[in-house]
Amino acid sequence: MSDRGIRSALRSGVREVRRRLVVAAVTDDGMSTAEYAIGTIAAAAFGAVLYSIVTGDSIVSALTGIIEKALNTSV
């Protein structure tokens, strides 16, 4: 493919991406109340799972071991 063909393909690709972005921006009115509720529930559930993992004994002991090893390392 020649340079001219590559440039033409690139321009048409950029035009297509720009067209799709404009269509997506114009037609999307934002999230509905149900979507906000589902997103909030999902975020809360993820936070609860993350909290239970981080506060578990294995993570606390692993982090404590890492910190103790770092503090006891001679430079």
pLDDT tens, 6-52?
Answer: 778 888 888 888 888 887 766 656 667 888 889 899 999 999 998 88
CA 37, CA 45: separation in Å to the nearest integer? 12
CA 4, CA 20: separation in Å to the nearest integer? 24
CA 28, CA 24: separation in Å to the nearest integer? 6
pLDDT digit string, tens, across residues 49-64: 988 888 888 888 888 8
Rounded to two decimals, what is the model's pTM?
Answer: 0.42
pLDDT (0 to 100) of residue 15:
86
2, pLDDT greater than 80: no
pLDDT (0 to 100) of residue 43:
94
| Element containing residue 41 per DSSP (H, E) | helix 33-54
